[in-house]
Amino acid sequence: ILEKGGYTQFTPHYITWYCPQAFTISKQCKSQCINHGRYCAPDPEQDFSSGYEGKDVVIENLRQLCVFKVANESNKSWLWWDYVTDFQIRCPMKEKKYNKECADAVIKSLGLDSKKIEKCMGDPNADADNPVLKEEQDAQVGKGSRGDVTILPTLVVNNRQYRGKLARGAVLKAICSGFEETTEPAVCLSGDVETNECLDNNGGCWQDKAANLTACKDTFRGRVCECPLVDGLQFKGDGYSHCEGEDRDLLLIISFYLI
């Protein structure tokens, strides 16, 4: 909802590490890394002798990054959520479906350009940097007030690491707190997220009960008292004790003749 409404811009990131140069030809590095030890992930089954390997995870993570990039180019970045959800359901390791064929089927079902995704992924066997994964490793390093990413999963909102429960309500509150007052999307003002302080004594703001007008504006952090805008007419005042507007009847007559 927030992404489609243009309120937020979500970007997924994936953690990788590199294999020390002296060990790049070892069995462990070859099974857990791609691009000659540059990008690695742990063995998902903790068994080097059978099953899936760490490099399988790195390749799928790379694919998911490229799914996001391609979807974002078409202004449909939320398709990344659909892909990762469908891939988890349709391509589980326990059913031996964690592979390119299953991933391609999911990509096709979402109408994404598989050729663009393949081009974005590059060659995992090349003895060279992968631009996408190199960018991810650089993003792990802290910048400004944000520290290094060392805990997984980590949520960053407005370049600040979130510390709290990774539950839907808690995360939504953290996101909503990043908006300036009076600019929050409607979902941030729902009863499950915040308390409408305008319901209690009108928030201490000016109101005209007869005309059903109020200066109280509910916000995620509380409330603000601002004189209302009514039918294109901006009332003026301090918002607390008084708000005044022009003669509304006169305004309506003028508008009528203009029409």
CA distance 205 to 249: 25
User: Are residues 240 and 137 located together in one domain of the fold?
Assistant: no
Domain's final residue, options 119, 141, 163: 141
**Residue 211: inside a domain, yes or no?**
yes
Q: Where a domain ends, among 74, 109, 141? A: 141
Q: What total number of domains does the chain contain?
A: 2
Highest mean pLDDT out of 118-132, 157-171, 233-247: 118-132
| pLDDT mean over 106-116 | 95
Give yes or no for residue 112 having a pLDDT over 70. yes
Domain range enclosing 204: 198-258
For residue 190, being part of any structural domain is answered with no
Residue whose token pair is 């007030």: 145
pLDDT at 109 exceeding the cut of 90: yes
pTM of the model: 0.70
Within a domain: residue 191? no
Q: What is the pLDDT of the chain when averaged over all its residues?
A: 86
237 within a domain of the structure (yes/no): yes
The answer on 41 and 115 residing in a single domain is yes
The verdict on 135 and 47 lying in the same domain is: yes
Inter-residue long-range contacts of 57-62, CB under 8 Å, 24+ positions, other chains counted: 58/16, 58/32, 58/33, 58/34, 58/124, 58/133, 59/34, 59/121, 59/124, 60/87, 60/98, 60/103, 61/14, 61/16, 62/14, 62/34, 62/121, 62/124, 62/130, 62/132, 62/133
Residue 213 lies in a domain: yes
- Is there a domain that residue 1 lies in? no
Least confidently predicted of 118-122, 150-154, 202-206: 150-154
Contacts of 206 (CB under 8 A, 6+ apart): 214, 215, 225, 227, 237, 238, 239, 240, 241, 242, 243
Shared-domain flag, residues 135 and 205: no
Please indicate, yes or no, if residue 65 is contained in any of the structural domains.
Answer: yes
Q: Is the pLDDT of residue 220 over 50?
A: yes
Q: Do 115 and 38 belong to one domain?
A: yes
Look at residue 167 and tell me if it is in a domain: no
Residue 133 CB coordination number (10 Å): 23
Helix (H, G, I), strand (E, B) or coil at 244: strand
**What is the tens place of the pLDDT at every residue in 9-23?**
888 999 898 999 889
pLDDT of 63 over the 70 cut: yes
Confidence of residue 2 (pLDDT cuts 50, 70, 90): confident
Return the residue matching tokens 């349709």. Answer: 90
Same domain, 34 and 114: yes
**Predicted pLDDT of residue 146:** 66
pLDDT at 257: 36
Identify the residue with better confidence: 144 or 60.
60
**128 and 220 in a common domain:** no
